Amino acid sequence: MKHIGLIVLLTVVSACPVLAQTARKAMPSGRSAERQLIELERQLSDALVRQDAKVLDRLWSNDLVFTFPNGKVSNKAQRLAGQKPAAQPTQSESKTTNDEVRVHLYGNTAVVTVLSTWSGQANNEAYSSQFQATHVWVKQGGRWQLVAAHVSPAKK
């Protein structure tokens, strides 16, 4: 009987490193998740400039809470309804650059701060503005989605 208990104990102990390695492989590393989120932030900025409702619909959670610089709060449906691409792209040329992106991971949740510069030309006048955003992403169903966002103008 002692031998059976010893065999069971040795089997369990020897299996622990294998189980730990399998769990590590199943969960993406922090660096991998960070790279994914930085890429999603790039896609988000690009979609906002192009007013690409299809991409925004994919990136934004159905529960999105968006807070504008003036404090007004909106949801996904309201934000998507406001996405109207310019009829003539030559009249309004915009671009955005994510100058600084910081990712803070908390399991399947991430807080990402983004300092971005929006620039271009509208009605033959050049413009450039910086914004600071705080985004909360949640990994649901195997993919990251934006659940909350707050944007403020950045002081130069």
Domains of the chain, first to last: 29-153 (3.10.450.50)
**Lowest-confidence region among 20-24, 41-45, 110-114:** 20-24
Q: In angstroms, rounded to a whole number, what is the distance separating the alpha carbons of residues 150 and 145?
A: 15
In the chain the first and final C-alpha atoms are separated, in Å, by 76
The answer to whether the CB of 135 falls within 8 A of the CB of 115 is: no
**Percent of the chain at pLDDT exceeding 70:** 76
Residue 75 parent element (H or E):
strand 73-75
pLDDT of residue 92: 57
- pTM, rounded to two decimals: 0.76
Instruction: Please give the mean pLDDT across all residues of the chain.
Output: 83
